[in-house]
């Protein structure tokens, strides 16, 4: 089996590469290291083909899709504030980049394309758990451009008969999640604060809940989806539960300070995964408490991560309040 993984040096992508190699696949990774890290693949660098490239621009990298059986399209720019500040860059990578990947697939015809979509497209839903048929209400350019990429994938599937599935990931966490750059996902922020002996900066009152889904469960869903007969579908991938930030802090252990609640953020994220169970015969396996324990066992990964405090977060999120408030 030959597989191409865009964004394979990233958080989810590098775990997917590990799993594909465990299944004896020949793996080609495409990454520009804007968010991914070469060190995420250091332990397998002699077992893969690694191509540094920018999918947002057509180029020789598109020849890497020749003879690929499966294409896993995970490459994307993430985070909220940078997408507000740089919508052009996000469109170039998340929408145009997806178009370029699809054109390569159209030429070389893999057996299946798996697109990593984002549950952020739901915005602030009316109903929890949230089904795939829920209204689409992206609140910022990252959410919008990921949704545009999804629509491209489904359209190419419909018009050009490219077998494809879009998996909408919820709040994925686990080892190798991003450690540097922009203020972002709560786990990276909290783990760096814990290492530095600083208080956890909890947004609002901490009662908001998130569908924290462990990365190995997400990778399992990706592989099951690739091997399935399903095509042309959107499928939520989540933990089948939702957990408060206060519960996370309790598991991590440490002092807390509170910072203002941010506009455009839901009080709850919670995937309805009945479709994943029915169509893919998939369900998550990792309990939240066990996942957090695994992170604490690997906490040194975040030793070089920036340590955020109340003041630096206020500076980093100023545009958030300006545009979404």
Where in the sequence numbering do the catalytic residues fall?
A: 142
DSSP label at residue 65 = G
Biggest distance spanned by C-alpha atoms of the chain: 55
Pair of tokens at residue 299: 């906490």
CA 240 remoteness from chain centre: 17
Buried b / exposed e across 282-301, counting CB within 10 Å, b at 16+?
Answer: bebebebeebbebbeeeeeb
Strands 26-31 and 49-52: parallel
Q: Are 306 and 192 in contact (CB under 8 A)?
A: yes
Residue 297, H or E segment? helix 288-297
- How many angstroms separate the CA atoms of 121 and 143, rounded? 5
- How many angstroms separate the CA atoms of 58 and 80, rounded? 26
- How many angstroms separate the CA atoms of 186 and 59, rounded? 36
Q: Are 96 and 77 in contact (CB under 8 A)?
A: no
Pair of tokens at residue 319: 């545009």
């Amino acid at each position: 089996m030959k597989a191409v993984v865009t964004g394979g040096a990233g958080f989810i992508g590098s775990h997917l590469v590990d799993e594909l190699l465990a299944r004896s696949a020949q793996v080609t990774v495409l990454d520009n290291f804007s968010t991914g890290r070469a060190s995420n693949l250091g332990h397998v660098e002699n077992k893969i083909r690694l191509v540094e490239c920018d999918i947002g621009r057509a180029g020789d990298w598109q020849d890497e899709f020749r003879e690929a059986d499966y294409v896993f399209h995970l490459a994307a720019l993430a985070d909220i504030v940078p997408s507000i500040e740089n919508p052009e860059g996000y469109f170039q990578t998340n929408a145009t980049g997806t178009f370029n990947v699809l054109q390569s697939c159209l030429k070389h015809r893999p057996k299946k394309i798996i697109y990593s979509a984002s549950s952020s497209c739901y915005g602030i839903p009316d109903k929890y758990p949230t089904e795939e048929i829920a209204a689409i209400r992206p609140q910022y350019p990252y959410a919008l451009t990921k949704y545009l990429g999804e629509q491209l994938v489904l359209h190419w599937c419909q018009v050009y008969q490219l077998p494809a599935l879009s998996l909408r990931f919820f709040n994925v966490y686990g080892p190798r999640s991003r450690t540097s750059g922009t203020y972002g996902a709560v786990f990276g922020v909290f783990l760096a604060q814990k290492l530095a002996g600083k208080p956890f900066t909890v947004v609002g009152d901490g009662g908001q809940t998130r569908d924290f889904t462990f990365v190995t469960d997400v990778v399992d869903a990706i592989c099951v989806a690739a091997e399935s007969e399903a095509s042309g579908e959107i499928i939520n991938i989540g933990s089948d539960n939702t957990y408060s930030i206060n519960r996370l802090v309790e598991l991590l252990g440490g002092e807390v300070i509170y910072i203002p609640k941010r506009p455009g953020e839901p009080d709850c994220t919670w995937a309805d995964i009945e479709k994943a169970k029915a169509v893919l015969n998939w369900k998550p396996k990792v309990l939240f408490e066990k996942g957090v324990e695994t992170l604490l066992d690997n906490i040194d990964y975040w030793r070089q991560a920036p340590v955020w405090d109340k003041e630096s977060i206020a500076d980093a999120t100023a545009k958030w309040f300006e545009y979404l408030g």
